[in-house]
Amino acid sequence: METDAVFIAVGYTPTTDLAEKSGVALTPEGYIARDERHRTSIPGIYSAGDVEGGYKQIVTATGQGAEAAMSIFEEIINPYWQRENEEKPAASVI
88 in a structural domain: no
Query: Mind listing the pLDDT tens digit for each residue in 6-34?
Result: 777 666 778 899 999 999 999 999 999 99
Q: Per the domain annotation, does 91 fall within a domain?
A: no
Angle at 69 between CA 64 and CA 71, to 5 degrees: 95
pLDDT of residue 82: 76
* Pairwise CA distance, residues 57 & 71, whole Å: 21
* Domain annotation covers residue 31: yes
| Reported confidence tier of residue 92, pLDDT bands at 50, 70, 90 | low
Domain hosting 32: range is 17-82
Our count of domains for the chain comes to 1
Report the CATH number at residue 50. Answer: 3.50.50.60
SS3 46: strand
What pLDDT, in 10s, does the model give residues 24-61? Answer: 999 999 999 999 999 999 988 999 998 998 877 888 89
Tens-place pLDDT, residues 62-87 = 999 999 999 999 988 887 767 766 55
